[in-house]
Structure 1
Amino acid sequence: MEQARLLKAIIETAIDGIITIDNRGRIESLNPAALRLFGYSLEEVEGRNISVLMPEPDRSGHDGYISRYQTTGEKRIIGKGREVKGLRKDGTTFPFRLAVSEVQYENRIIYTGFIHDLSREKEAEERLREYAAELEELVEERTKSLKKTVRALSEAKEEVSLSLEKEKELNQLKSRFVSMASHEFRTPLSSVQLSASLIDKYAEPYDNKNIRKHVSKIKNAVGNLTTILNDFLSLERLEAGRVEPTFTAFDLVKLAEEITEEMQMIAKQDQNIIYQHTGLQSMVLLDPNLLKNCMINLISNAIKYSGENTFIEFNTEINDQQCIVTIKDNGIGIPESDHKYLFQPFFRAHNTGNIPGTGLGLNIVQRYASLMKGDLYFESRIDTGTKFVLSFHK
């Protein structure tokens, strides 16, 4: 008797609905949660066919379903169940997850249904889809606007470089662009990136592939725009002579390990960055910010131009004469005919296709290395890979 009272208390206080029917589909009992979900009292539905709680077409096909269940031996066990719709007394419908089990009770068979209301989950999923769509549209608008500005700047550069007078006009245009980019793009891009990350976090419980796909597209678009913006800002500062290296003693190995961890987070699937240091020393006298920018730029290129399931070798070496940084990939490589143009601003190799980029990164790396009295050289073969080496004399 004690167990019976405990079982009854559990059923009566359960959050999910519990319903039992006989082998002819007639309702025998509903717990309070189920009655609230469907809007009936027990007296109103007891003894009626279970189809009264179903909208079409499930209502018409339910008797056939029970028949198939009984004749074919198909068994529904308690578990994840299946998603169906319920019909309330007021005529409205709602989604729920239904799990059914067969119970042997007093020499007869009854069926127990466990009902988990999905209304809130569905509403939340719809809100997330709408929000993701709004953010994607916003990013597309910002992307078009920024690309239009970048194209205008590139076209302007070609025209004004014909004379010193036009060169002056170009510098003025670039200054206006930098000012505009700093204020008009950085803040909204940061907001979009933060919102996309929050959507990704809030959507984790629903495990929705479409939400993850669109959030990933938003993040990638924002990342590309941020890279473009940073490249143009760096180029402007270099050409304006506003970049002066600050030589500081720092631990190269510690910096390289931090960069490796940071870049591994944005690497492609099963793409691994392998870091190794050679030498007993780890301290160097260089500008840590400029060197970090160089290493991140070169590793980003290795990630971008290599495929999934590949290795990127990242090595540092300190000996008596030099400090050497090497980044090697086994990606698409650089056509030999493009080698001599590779460090020119806005130049991109002819085999990059639709891979995004500004053509400014390597020019910036070379100029940063030069400011630190260093050199940058590379080796590359098409479809084999590329190795970039930064070297600094002590």
Structure 2
Amino acid sequence: MNDATLLHAIIDNAIDGIITIDRRGLIESINPSACKLFGFSPHEVIGRNISMLMPEPDHSRHDQYLQRYQATGERHIIGIGREVRGLKKDGSQFPFRLAVSEVILTDRTIYAGFINDLTREKEAEDRIKNHAAQLEELVEERTASLRKTVQALQEAKEEVSLSLEKEKELNQLKSRFVSMASHEFRTPLSSVQLSASLIEKYSAQEDSANISKHVNKIKNAVGNLTTILNDFLSLERLEAGRVEPTFTRFDLVKLAEEITEEMQLITKQNQNIIYEHTGLSSIVVLDQNLLKNCIINLIANAIKYSGENTFIEFNSEVTESQYIITISDNGIGIPEADQKHLFQPFFRAHNTGNIPGTGLGLNIVRRYAGLMNGYVQFESIINKGTKFTISFSSNDEKNVHSNY
């Protein structure tokens, strides 16, 4: 096979359309892919001006483009690397990316146009835009619904606070509160989560800043609402006496490293969680799930109440007599006047401002620690930071699960 035969074989079997024209704009050759794209056979276009394949205004202006290019050498005039539209035989149009090369032969100059069909990409882009518009409406609708729910929850919280002196009434209100929150939140949560999944599905075809914005908005809303639900459900289980610790032996360092990796994903910009362990052993005997809940809650608070570009210190220590967990931040701190109320349910310090929260997390942490025969202490200085310490006795292993 000679070079000319090989070249013709490559052009005829190319996926993209290839058309060559002379200096007057007359079509000299067209490959099968270009014929298929435009709906013409070779004999219908060869010898005719390339403008026959262009819709207005390019149809009328093409000769001017070519003349200006030949006179000035302005390569962009004939559309190198541009997205343009083609005119098919049936009168319909389609988008394509056009790249043009000037080919200088021994006796003349020709121009080769390489045509990459963008129909599928544009259709996918239009679908994504439509989905983005629909999801925008859905987000607005869900946001309005969530605002109403949050308002209802705030009113319920105030009602609970006024009833704290009557323990029996408080428990009844909490039960109703949890039932309402579960019912009102689960449906919008499911819808929002589905919306996020749909956005990710379609955004895989096209990078869209608008879709990414809504994905983050929805996921943040889901995360915040899920945290609120978990706090209320944990409180309800504690009040009902349905939380029974299961003591097992496990590796504290392994658990702590997993939590650190997980929580690092939700830190603010340039926030870093630094974990260190002290002690020759890392094996402890506690309820792993309850301990994980306590640590995550305290680290989440440290992230929430600390600024960007800060460190959160997470330390564990195993001695012959104690297991000790400490979490320290250099955030907003807790006002001294509020510290005595810190572990009360629904209480939030006065300097938390618009930072979201239920006021239940620390109450749950203390009660979970108590179920494992541990206790919680803290030190805090306003605008300097806070350090929480959870301590457990390591001497009493009588409650270890029988499988260990």
- Scaled by the length of structure 2, the TM-score of the pair is 0.82
- What is the alpha-carbon distance in structure 2 between the residues aligned to residue 299 and residue 311 of structure 1? 11
Tell me the equivalent position of 1:213.
213
Tell me the equivalent position of 2:89.
89
Following TM superposition, by how much is the alpha carbon of 1:293 offset from its aligned partner in structure 2, in angstroms?
Answer: 0.8
In structure 2, relative to structure 1, the CA distance for the partners of 1:127 and 1:151 (3 Å cut) is same
Following TM superposition, by how much is the alpha carbon of 1:358 offset from its aligned partner in structure 2, in angstroms?
Answer: 2.6
Post-superposition Cα deviations, 1:357-387, rounded to whole Å, max 9, x if no partner, equal 3332223223222332323333445555443
Partner of 2:85, secondary structure, is: strand
In structure 2, relative to structure 1, the CA distance for the partners of 1:36 and 1:387 (3 Å cut) is farther
Post-superposition Cα deviations, 1:83-138, rounded to whole Å, max 9, x if no partner, equal 23223233332222222222223333222222222222222233234334444544
The answer to whether the Cα contact below 8 Å between 1:369 and 1:390 also exists between their aligned partners in 2 is yes
Post-superposition Cα deviations, 1:48-68, rounded to whole Å, max 9, x if no partner, equal 333333333444444444345
- What is the alpha-carbon distance in structure 2 between the residues aligned to residue 167 and residue 5 of structure 1? 94
* Structure 2 runs not aligned, ≥5 long: 395-404
Tell me the equivalent position of 1:303.
303
Following TM superposition, by how much is the alpha carbon of 1:325 offset from its aligned partner in structure 2, in angstroms?
Answer: 1.5
Tell me the equivalent position of 2:401.
none
- What is the alpha-carbon distance in structure 1 between the residues aligned to residue 389 and residue 40 of structure 2? 76
Following TM superposition, by how much is the alpha carbon of 1:284 offset from its aligned partner in structure 2, in angstroms?
Answer: 1.3
- What is the alpha-carbon distance in structure 1 between the residues aligned to residue 276 and residue 24 of structure 2? 72
- What is the alpha-carbon distance in structure 1 between the residues aligned to residue 186 and residue 158 of structure 2? 27
In structure 2, relative to structure 1, the CA distance for the partners of 1:31 and 1:162 (3 Å cut) is same
Partner of 1:206, secondary structure, is: coil
Following TM superposition, by how much is the alpha carbon of 1:195 offset from its aligned partner in structure 2, in angstroms?
Answer: 5.2
The answer to whether the Cα contact below 8 Å between 2:19 and 2:34 also exists between their aligned partners in 1 is yes
Matches within 5 A, 1:1-394: 2-75=2-75, 81-159=81-159, 162=162, 171-182=171-182, 185-186=185-186, 189-190=189-190, 192-193=192-193, 196-197=196-197, 199-200=199-200, 202-335=202-335, 338-394=338-394
The answer to whether the Cα contact below 8 Å between 2:293 and 2:365 also exists between their aligned partners in 1 is yes
The answer to whether the Cα contact below 8 Å between 2:333 and 2:384 also exists between their aligned partners in 1 is yes
Partner of 1:280, secondary structure, is: coil
Following TM superposition, by how much is the alpha carbon of 1:308 offset from its aligned partner in structure 2, in angstroms?
Answer: 4.5
Partner of 1:388, secondary structure, is: strand
Following TM superposition, by how much is the alpha carbon of 1:252 offset from its aligned partner in structure 2, in angstroms?
Answer: 0.8
Partner of 2:266, secondary structure, is: coil
Following TM superposition, by how much is the alpha carbon of 1:300 offset from its aligned partner in structure 2, in angstroms?
Answer: 2.0
The answer to whether the Cα contact below 8 Å between 1:153 and 1:174 also exists between their aligned partners in 2 is no
The answer to whether the Cα contact below 8 Å between 2:83 and 2:98 also exists between their aligned partners in 1 is yes
In structure 2, relative to structure 1, the CA distance for the partners of 1:304 and 1:153 (3 Å cut) is closer
- The structure having more radius of gyration, on CA atoms, is 2
Aligned residue pair count: 391
Post-superposition Cα deviations, 1:285-316, rounded to whole Å, max 9, x if no partner, equal 22111111111122222333444454332221
- What is the alpha-carbon distance in structure 1 between the residues aligned to residue 163 and residue 341 of structure 2? 23
The answer to whether the Cα contact below 8 Å between 1:135 and 1:192 also exists between their aligned partners in 2 is no
Shifted more, 381-390 versus 255-264: the winner is 381-390
The answer to whether the Cα contact below 8 Å between 2:171 and 2:239 also exists between their aligned partners in 1 is no
Partner of 2:253, secondary structure, is: helix
Post-superposition Cα deviations, 1:310-356, rounded to whole Å, max 9, x if no partner, equal 43322211123321222233444445554444434334445544443
In structure 2, relative to structure 1, the CA distance for the partners of 1:290 and 1:116 (3 Å cut) is same
Give the aligned residue type for 1:260.
T
Give the aligned residue type for 2:293.
N
Following TM superposition, by how much is the alpha carbon of 1:215 offset from its aligned partner in structure 2, in angstroms?
Answer: 1.6
- Scaled by the length of structure 1, the TM-score of the pair is 0.84
- What is the alpha-carbon distance in structure 2 between the residues aligned to residue 310 and residue 103 of structure 1? 60
- The alignment-based identity, stated in percent, is 76
Following TM superposition, by how much is the alpha carbon of 1:172 offset from its aligned partner in structure 2, in angstroms?
Answer: 4.0
